[in-house]
Amino acid sequence: MAATRVMATVASTTTTSLLFRGPLRPCDGVSLCFGSTRLVPKKRFFTCRALYKPEVQIKDEGQPETLDYRVFFVDSSGKKISPWHDIPLQLDDGVFNFIVEIPKETSAKMEVATDEIYTPIKQDTKKGKLRYYPYNINWNYGLLPQTWEDPSFANSEVEGALGDNDPVDVVEIGESQGKIGQIMKVKPLAALAMIDEGELDWKIVAISLDDPRASLVNDIDDVEKHFPGTLTAIRDWFRDYKIPDGKPANKFGLGNKAASKEYALKVITETNESWARLVKRSIPAGELSLV
């Protein structure tokens, strides 16, 4: 996804970082330590405990495929919340929340508006016109909440590429078509290190726990066995989708191959820690509770 300016609203004061409404509260047992880049267990994920999936509802404003169309998320009291910052990243051990932005077999380029209050989902634009992929995407596509690809971090494992300043993207390979704004429980299976115009844009390959084949796939080798050709198809789709518009193909790091589930979890951990640091430095000290 294209890098954008990120916005924050704290106590009615707008800053230049991100939207966050209220104190950051760690989940039970979380140890809030920063700076580690190694693979770590569940207790090291940082999350807001304000909301859980059953309390979240979707509210459309405007007409689809118009410049004004927005998909907002609201809590049980009807208050708007941020899908990026207020939806927890992790549910159980190895299970994560995935927010659908672009349902499979559609082409409208929908994305969380990181530069708008409450970060609703909207259709991306270029030069005032709505953007579409040149052809349908074949999988559900969206983001992991409470993650952030830090544009100041040069990843030495991926050609020194800098983060794209967005949440981490997910490609969900299950058979069902999601809906815009739908929150799916998924388990990561692999990771692709896409490099888009010099920026690192991770693609986490995952599957919904509700998919009939979910119990069969637990790592990259299972994907090759039960979804043969899918990892190559995902890489090739994201490599080539800009070519019809006259742009060069995207590149991929890590030997142009998908990495394992363990590596995907490392990416999720690191980008969740980046998000937590972003939140920490964006909120006045008196409004942040980290323990």
pLDDT, position 93: 84
Task: List the pLDDT tens digit at each of the 291 positions of the chain.
Answer: 444 444 433 322 222 234 333 333 333 323 222 233 333 334 456 654 434 445 899 999 999 999 999 999 999 999 999 999 999 999 988 999 999 999 999 999 999 999 999 999 999 999 999 999 999 999 999 999 999 999 999 999 999 999 999 999 999 999 999 999 999 999 999 999 999 999 999 999 999 999 999 999 999 999 999 999 999 999 999 999 999 999 999 999 999 999 999 999 999 999 999 999 998 887 654 444 332
**Of 137, 141, 153, 157, the residue nearest 203 (C-alpha):** 141
- 133 given a catalytic annotation: yes
Residue 196 pLDDT: 96
Q: Count of CB atoms within 10 A of residue 128's CB? A: 6
H/E stretch holding 192: strand 183-196
CB of 165 closer than 8 Å to CB of 120: no
Q: How many CB atoms lie within 10 A of CB 90?
A: 22
pLDDT at site 49: 42
| Cα separation of the two ends of the chain | 33
pTM (2 d.p.): 0.83
Catalytic residue among 69, 118, 132, 133: 133
Residue 42 DSSP symbol: G
Q: Are 113 and 119 in contact (CB under 8 A)?
A: yes
Q: What ranges do the domains of the chain cover?
A: 89-111+124-280
Question: Amino acid identity of 101?
Answer: E
DSSP secondary structure letter of residue 259: B
Q: CA–CA distance from 101 to each of 139, 140, 174, 187 (Å)?
A: 11, 8, 15, 18
d(CA 150, CA 164): 7
Distances (CA, A) of 197 to 162, 172, 242, 244: 10, 24, 11, 16
For 89-111+124-280, CATH gives 3.90.80.10
The confidence score (pLDDT) of residue 47 equals 56
- Whether the CA torsion 250, 70, 205, 25 is positive or negative: it is positive
